[in-house]
Amino acid sequence: MTTSLVAELEELQRLFSGTPVPRDDYNHHFFMKPRKLLEEAQEEFSAFLDGHFENLRGGRNNKAAEALRSHLQWVFLGLADAAMRGNWLLVSLDDRAYTSDLLLKRYGFKYAPTKAIVDYLERNGFATVKRGRQYKNNPARTRLYPNPELASALVGFHLQTVTDIEPPFVVINEPEGKWKEVIAELPVDHPDRLEMTQINDFLKCHTWACKGPVQLKYKHDVFSSGRLYTDYQDLPDRRVRIRINTLIDGEPLCEVDFSANHLRLAMSVLHDEDIGDAPYEDIMEIAQLRDRSLIKTFVTRALGADNRTAANSGWNKEKLGASLFEQIELAVMRRFPKLKLYDAWGIQAQNLEGAMLRHVMLQGIEKDIVCLPVHDAIAVPQQHEKWAVDAMLEAWERFGVRNASLARARVKVDKP
């Protein structure tokens, strides 16, 4: 599946030795989950696991040893993910959580083997371990990140991981009010459940890197976010071009991406205005900057935050500088005087993007075409590039405009 990635993986492994541990915040955390490997990778991984398992087993009986080995696989494959995307793996070292946390119980995680593995990693220097602390109603999880040697040994396995494609396919993060119960009790014939089940049932018989379920994720309530998510989209594609060089059903893929989409949607939906082919470049020229990624970062934060202070705080966490923030802010306001910043409209844009990608994926099922969501893009086998471009433009016109004669989408196609 990943034969074209030898050079990319070698480059990523080279970077591990000079890269500090990730920033320890919410955006750089993810929870451990039970992962398996493709059958062709299991033998090599088992051989790697054996030495660590023998060092850990001690006098455990067969049942306890079996649980330990399962947890060792889950932790090590979680650390492979951590190395691949530069985030911390979260585990719980609160023994009480294993009797009350529904996710831990659902996955079958146990306290004793988890703690033994974390102690082993820390004792031998295989990973940086930041132990969680007890806070009322909000215990901090323990964070793990592999050392460079372990990261290099593990990272290639991550592409060959598989997570069972099982419900729930519709979830909500940080629910407010009764939304947690509402989402958990959606009737089987609700459109969200029906469509996401259809998508996942279709994908089960296909292959791609980091195969797993596609989920519809809301945040706070069903009016916020609503993006599609699958593990594939978290593969790196900037510092090292891993994601674009993977395969779908053994074939090279391409990604069809909406261009400047949050900004384009805001001006279309709120003002019936088309913003042209290169809005970020327009802002760059006004601001006298050459870095397009800075403009994109500012626009994303300014449209997503509900006030200027929050947007500025996120900007400063990246150490991008207050003067640069103001410089880009003025350029955006000059280029788009109607645009209202700091109004949390980006959350509505995410909801629209989720609806568009869901529509495209359902259209793909009708034509037996695999589509994978990637934020505001889809990945498809390259032979279906033209279909994907047309489908994305049609979906944007369906969900993103009030007056198609005034505003339209732009897409770009990325290939290996």
CATH code, domain carrying 397: 3.30.70
Task: Tell whether 29 and 116 lie within a shared domain.
Answer: yes
| Lowest-confidence segment of 81-85, 148-152, 230-234, 343-347 by average pLDDT | 343-347
Task: Tell whether 131 and 219 lie within a shared domain.
Answer: no
**Percent over 90 (pLDDT), the chain:** 83
- CA gap 94, 48 in Å, rounded: 29
Number of CB atoms found within 10 A of residue 74's CB: 23
Report the candidate in 367, 401, 372 with the shortest Cα–Cα distance to residue 387: 367
Please report whether residue 331 resides in a domain.
Answer: no
Which of 219-233, 277-291, 397-411 is most confident? Answer: 277-291
Report the pLDDT value the prediction gives residue 199, as an integer from 0 to 100.
Answer: 98
Please report whether residue 176 resides in a domain.
Answer: yes
- CA gap 406, 401 in Å, rounded: 9
Please report whether residue 313 resides in a domain.
Answer: no
Task: Tell whether 74 and 56 lie within a shared domain.
Answer: yes
Domain boundary among 161, 178, 199: 161
Please report whether residue 218 resides in a domain.
Answer: yes
Report the pLDDT value the prediction gives residue 124, as an integer from 0 to 100.
Answer: 97
* Cβ within 8 Å of residue 76, ≥6 positions away: 48, 49, 52, 154
Report the pLDDT value the prediction gives residue 222, as an integer from 0 to 100.
Answer: 84
Averaged pLDDT, 113-123: 98
Report the pLDDT value the prediction gives residue 225, as an integer from 0 to 100.
Answer: 81
For 25-53, the DSSP string reads: SGGGEEE----EE-HHHHHHHHHHHHHHH
Report the pLDDT value the prediction gives residue 320, as an integer from 0 to 100.
Answer: 78
Average pLDDT over the chain, rounded to an integer: 93
Kindly indicate the confidence band of residue 4, based on its pLDDT and cuts at 50, 70 and 90.
Answer: low
Domain boundary among 139, 161, 183: 161
Kindly indicate the confidence band of residue 223, based on its pLDDT and cuts at 50, 70 and 90.
Answer: confident
CB 342 within 8 A of CB 353: no
CB 182 within 8 A of CB 170: no
Please report whether residue 267 resides in a domain.
Answer: no
Report the pLDDT value the prediction gives residue 174, as an integer from 0 to 100.
Answer: 85
pLDDT value at 24 more than 70: yes
Q: 204 burial class (0-12, 13-18, 19+ CB within 10 angstroms)?
A: exposed
Kindly indicate the confidence band of residue 3, based on its pLDDT and cuts at 50, 70 and 90.
Answer: very low
Report the pLDDT value the prediction gives residue 1, as an integer from 0 to 100.
Answer: 44
The answer to whether the peptide bond before residue 279 is cis (omega within 30 degrees of 0) is no
pLDDT value at 172 more than 60: yes
- The one-character DSSP state at 264 is H
Averaged pLDDT, 9-27: 90
Task: Tell whether 46 and 132 lie within a shared domain.
Answer: yes
Please report whether residue 319 resides in a domain.
Answer: no
pLDDT value at 403 more than 80: no
Scanning 217-291, the segments in alpha helix (DSSP H) are 261-271, 279-287
Task: Tell whether 53 and 136 lie within a shared domain.
Answer: yes
H/E stretch holding 255 reads: strand 251-258
Rounded to two decimals, what is the model's pTM?
A: 0.91
Averaged pLDDT, 261-280: 94
- CA gap 84, 94 in Å, rounded: 27
Averaged pLDDT, 400-409: 77
Q: 2 burial class (0-12, 13-18, 19+ CB within 10 angstroms)?
A: middle
Task: Tell whether 157 and 206 lie within a shared domain.
Answer: no
Task: Tell whether 146 and 231 lie within a shared domain.
Answer: no
- The one-character DSSP state at 372 is E
Report the pLDDT value the prediction gives residue 19, as an integer from 0 to 100.
Answer: 85
Domain containing residue 227: 170-260+347-414
pLDDT value at 2 more than 50: no
Task: Tell whether 31 and 127 lie within a shared domain.
Answer: yes
Kindly indicate the confidence band of residue 5, based on its pLDDT and cuts at 50, 70 and 90.
Answer: confident
* Cβ within 8 Å of residue 400, ≥6 positions away: 264, 265, 268, 269, 352, 356, 407, 409
Task: Tell whether 157 and 219 lie within a shared domain.
Answer: no
- CA gap 245, 205 in Å, rounded: 21
| Lowest-confidence segment of 36-40, 133-137, 365-369 by average pLDDT | 133-137
What is the residue type of 157? Answer: F
Domain boundary among 161, 181, 211: 161
pLDDT in tens, 190-209: 999 999 999 999 999 999 99
Task: Tell whether 30 and 146 lie within a shared domain.
Answer: yes
Averaged pLDDT, 108-128: 97
pLDDT in tens, 302-328: 999 999 999 998 888 776 788 899 999
Reported residue count of the chain is 416
Cα-Cα-Cα-Cα torsion 100, 104, 110, 113, nearest 10 degrees, comes to -130
Please report whether residue 288 resides in a domain.
Answer: no
Give the pairing type, strands 127-130 and 88-91: unpaired
CB 99 within 8 A of CB 57: no
Report the pLDDT value the prediction gives residue 321, as an integer from 0 to 100.
Answer: 82
Task: Tell whether 182 and 239 lie within a shared domain.
Answer: yes
Tokens found for residue 333: 């306001």
Higher per-residue confidence, 314 vs 396: 396
Kindly indicate the confidence band of residue 170, based on its pLDDT and cuts at 50, 70 and 90.
Answer: very high
Task: Tell whether 373 and 246 lie within a shared domain.
Answer: yes
CB 89 within 8 A of CB 145: yes
**Tokens 């991406």, residue located:** 257
Report the pLDDT value the prediction gives residue 374, as an integer from 0 to 100.
Answer: 97
Averaged pLDDT, 266-276: 92
* Cβ within 8 Å of residue 287, ≥6 positions away: 295, 327, 328, 330, 331
Averaged pLDDT, 93-117: 93
- CA gap 169, 191 in Å, rounded: 12
Count of structural domains within the chain: 2
Please report whether residue 308 resides in a domain.
Answer: no
- The pairs formed by 170-174 with CB atoms below 8 angstroms and a separation of 24 or more are 170/196, 170/215, 170/216, 170/218, 171/215, 171/216, 171/217, 171/218, 172/217, 172/218, 172/219, 172/220, 172/221, 172/222, 173/217, 173/218, 173/219, 173/220, 173/225, 174/219, 174/220
